[in-house]
Amino acid sequence: MIDWLLAGARWGEGDLVWTTDPLLVGGAALVALVAWAVALLGGWRAVRSPPLRLLESALWAVALGALVVGIAGPEIVEEDGREELGKLVVLVDGSGSMGVSDGASVRSTAAMEVLETLRGAQDPMDVYTFDETVRAGAPERFEGRGTDLGAALDVIADRHLGQELRGVVVLSDGLDRGPLRREVAAAAEQGTLSASAVPVLPGPVTFIQTGEAEALFDVSVEHVTSGGFAFLRTAVALQAEVRGPPGRAVPVTLSRDGRTVREETVTLDADGRADVEFTVIPRQVGRFAWEVSVPVEVGDAVPGNNVYPVVVRVVRERTRVLQVSGSPSYDQKFLRLFLKEDPSVDLVSFFILRTREDFRSGWQQNEMSLIEFPYQRLFTEDLSTFDLVILQNFNYRPYFSYGRDDLLLNIADYVRAGGALVMTGGDRSFDLGEYARTPISEVLPVELGVTGVKTDESPFRPKLTASGAVHPLTRLGATADETESIWQRLPAMDGTNLSLGLTPGSAALLEHPGLVTDSGPLPILAVREVAEGRTMALAVDASWRWSFSEAAEGRGNQAYLRFWKNALRWLVADPDYRRVVVFPSRENVL
């Protein structure tokens, strides 16, 4: 009776529930009982007839009971609804192998026909495409490079966590390239295969295979590992995984920009796999694309997976500079200090403090605590490790005792391969250093071979050329006018090395205001791009004066520092200084 009063009674198709707190209802019932007792005692004293007394007691009980019921807040709750079926999830293989034709039908066509049949019979339904990734919707093209069924099942389990699916249907040719196939095969071999080997899904799984069960001929580059970035002039390994028929010898090619870099031949193992490693040494900074490829043979089922591109970002850890000076000087000291204080520069510096004439003057070897100049190692095996070589008033003849021509040729080849070279003026440089008709003269931006007087010692102030006004190397100000103003107030030079003018393909950034050559004004600062490398010729040996003059005027030494920092960045082909060529459409040209 109490249970019926408080909750749980059935009224037709609904349930009677009480909405008021049971404690409050109990309190109201107790108060009503006390009130009924008081009313009963009072009524019995006033009414003498027993029937009337009973009628009055009953009326009081009904009234107080109705009040308690009203306080309890009775409600009849009816539940209504319908049973909903779970979703059907369909995974369609979008890999390139689905485009293979098996006789009269194509695998992808067969899969799409099954999908359309399911769409007509099943509602609701979610469709996903899977290859090496998973994405919503049916595949528009079957071009995926791989098939990772295990990852696809994991994604479905995560996305539908807590739901009850009607089922999961997988439409595939069964060529799974992911780890699930290998893990299941290994567990089966060891006798430890169990249901835990596959992802737990919120519904039954049905596999529908498209294509014939016969062997499929396909040679592919499965994957290439590069690390994503590399350091300039530091070896980096590109590791490729090749798949195909077991025991087959497959030539693997590494190329860049359509040019073959290296080729290796590998033999596929019993599982039809082989790894090949290519080692490359990047010579430029930036983002570069390499391709690992295998030949497309007759009958190859999926030619699209025979090439695997990989992009590597090449960064410069530090700019490695070799500074060789023929004698101590202010110019050498200031430049060495600038390079040494730059944290982005790794400097190797040699400057000559003794010559063969010192021995003729009576000084002995053990009286001079100097190291031997390792010119042979520097300009052979170590040369390719430098980003920039500076020959500062350096005459090679007294020091290149053995293999002189080969060493000079090494420097010229180093420039053509992407290195940078600077030659500055002085009494041991350019024609005074006997560089005419050497391999180095072939890469310099000025032509050597001056006969007679090879220097001019008259003071002069270099003049900025039209090319120099816009070139990043000589841009010392924020605008062209500010750059021109800075160069005009820099101090005069106390002389210059002479030359026959510019070599073909070179540009003069500073020129002599009075001296001329057969081809035009005498170049003081000239630059040139030689194959993959760059060179700069500065025909004076007093650029250090630019530092003092600016400081004397309260401007610090910014002109000197900015000039050499610009030169350093341009010479090593900093990506920020790369030229951009724009070809506008004809209608946009005024």
The C-alpha angle with vertex 574 and arms to 570 and 577, in degrees rounded to 5, equals 65
Mean pLDDT across 42-65: 67
Consecutive H or E run containing 209: strand 205-209
CATH class, domain 220-315, is: mainly beta
Strand (E) positions, 108-191?
A: 125-130, 134-136, 167-172
Which residue from 368, 374, 342, 340 is spatially nearest to 355, judged by alpha carbons? 368
Q: Cα 183–185–189 angle (5° rounding)?
A: 115
- Answer whether 0.85 is exceeded by the pTM: no
Place 216 in a pLDDT band, splitting at 50, 70 and 90: low
pLDDT at residue 13 in the model: 61
Report cis status (omega within 30 of 0) of the bond before 124: yes
Confidence tier at 4 by pLDDT (50, 70, 90): very low
Q: Write out the residue limits of the CATH 3.40.50.410 domain(s) in the chain.
A: 88-209
Q: DSSP letter for 68, please.
A: H
C-beta of residue 408 within 8 angstroms of C-beta of residue 324: no
Spatial distance between the Cα atoms of 97 and 212, rounded to a whole number of angstroms: 12
pLDDT in tens, 273-298: 899 999 888 877 778 888 999 998 87
The structure tokens listed for 345 are 């520069």
Q: How far is CA 486 from CA 247, 464, 524, in A?
A: 71, 10, 17
- Asked if pLDDT for residue 467 goes beyond 80, the answer is yes
Calpha distance 308→223 (Å, rounded) = 7
Statement: residue 232 has pLDDT above 90: no
* Residue-wise pLDDT tens digits, 71-119: 777 777 776 666 666 788 898 988 877 877 666 678 888 888 888 888 8
Question: What is the 8-class DSSP label of residue 123?
Answer: S
Per CATH, the architecture of 319-577 is what?
3-Layer(aba) Sandwich (3.40)
The radius of gyration of the chain from alpha carbons, rounded to an integer in Å, stands at: 45
In a 3-state reduction of DSSP, which class is residue 318?
coil
Cα distances (angstroms) measured from residue 224 to each of 148, 179, 220, 464, 520: 16, 16, 11, 50, 54
Residue 354's pLDDT is 62
Torsion of CA 353, 355, 360, 365, to 10 degrees: 60
Place of tokens 């400081």: 551
With contact defined as beta carbons under 8 Å apart, do 560 and 334 qualify?
Answer: yes
pLDDT tens digits along 117-128: 888 776 778 899
Residue holding tokens 């630059």? 527
**Residue ranges of the chain that CATH labels 2.60.40.10:** 220-315
Q: Helix, strand, coil % (nearest 5) of the chain? A: 35, 30, 40
Angstrom distance (rounded) from CA 130 to CA 508: 59
* Domain 88-209 part of CATH 3.40.50.1470: no
Domain with CATH 3.40.50.880 in the chain: 319-577
Closest C-alpha to 264, from 278, 245, 274: 278
**Strands 506-517, 520-530: parallel, antiparallel or unpaired by DSSP?**
antiparallel
Q: Which tens digits make up the pLDDT trace of 518-551? A: 889 999 999 999 998 999 999 999 998 888 766 5
